[in-house]
Amino acid sequence: MSDRPQAAPEAEAAANSAAQNLPFDAANEAAKDPLTLASEAAAEHVMHDAEDNGREDVYALQAQLDAAQAEVTELKDRWLRLNAEFDNFRKRGAKERMELIQFAGENVLKNVIPVVDDMERAIANNAKTEDVAVVKEGFHLIHSKLLHILGAQGVKPLQTKQGDAFDVDHHEAITKAPAPSPALKGRVIDVIENGYTLHDKVIRYAKVVVGE
């Protein structure tokens, strides 16, 4: 019984002496109980895991950013190419429309030029002949050829004649004159210029004199 009280103070003194000889941080660690040490170790492990996960998230976000920037660059290049192609298409279309308007009657004119050749030959022949019948026949042939060329392009005369009823959709009354007979009142009594249609659309009204 007398030995135990003496052993405890000696052990406590030895522990205090050992703690005093340790550094400050080590002394604090030695003073902690096993539960506290286990809790701190677990917390440190969680912090390390969080840092690792954070770095992985940053790497993943950086990879997504790089991919997005590459996609933006590709889309921008594609847009520039499409814009250039559209601009070229627009200019080419404008040029084609201008040429279409400028040369729309090219085929018609090519067909009319031979008629001019016939007229020049007729003029040269008429200078050497005194036969009126030959001159008249030449004019009729040239007129028929010209009408045939116009007909191939869809141009046809209205065939307005004396006695036809006046039609505002086809005729243009340039004046009125006394009708030779009561039956010609309000009707065409003379055709000054014939009218023409292009694919059944009137492109020139017949200029007529209407009886009154």
Q: What is the mean pLDDT of the chain?
A: 82
Structure tokens at 122: 């007729």
Q: What is the pLDDT of residues 82-96, one digit of tens each?
A: 999 999 999 999 999
Q: What is the pLDDT of residue 8?
A: 46
- 8 vs 118, higher pLDDT: 118
Which residue is associated with the tokens 């201008």?
98
Q: What is the pLDDT of residue 15?
A: 47
Q: Are 137 and 160 in contact (CB under 8 A)?
A: no
Q: What is the pLDDT of residue 3?
A: 47
**Region 154-170 average pLDDT:** 93
Q: What is the pLDDT of residue 169?
A: 94
- What is the 8-class DSSP label of residue 172? E
Whole-angstrom Cα distance, residue 171 to residue 195?
Answer: 8
Least confident of 35-44, 56-65, 104-113, 152-161: 35-44
Whole-angstrom Cα distance, residue 172 to residue 191?
Answer: 10
Q: What is the pLDDT of residue 60?
A: 85
First to last CA, the chain: 163
Instruction: Assess whether pLDDT exceeds 60 at residue 5.
Output: no
**Region 5-32 average pLDDT:** 49
**191 pairs with which residues across the strands?**
208
Secondary structure (DSSP) of 103-133: TTTHHHHHHHHHHHHHHHHHHHHHTT---HH
Q: What is the pLDDT of residues 11-23, one digit of tens each?
A: 455 545 544 454 4
Looking at 3.90.1150.10, 2.30.22.10, 3.20.20.70, 3.40.50.12780, the CATH number of the domain 156-212 comes to 2.30.22.10
- 104 vs 52, higher pLDDT: 104
Contacts of residue 193, defined as CB under 8 A and 6 or more positions apart, other chains included, come to: 204, 206, 207
AA letter at 205: Y
Whole-angstrom Cα distance, residue 169 to residue 201?
Answer: 10
Least confident of 16-20, 131-135, 183-187, 208-212: 16-20
Q: What is the pLDDT of residue 7?
A: 44
Range list of H helices, the chain: 4-21, 24-31, 34-102, 106-126, 132-152
Which residue is associated with the tokens 């067909």?
111
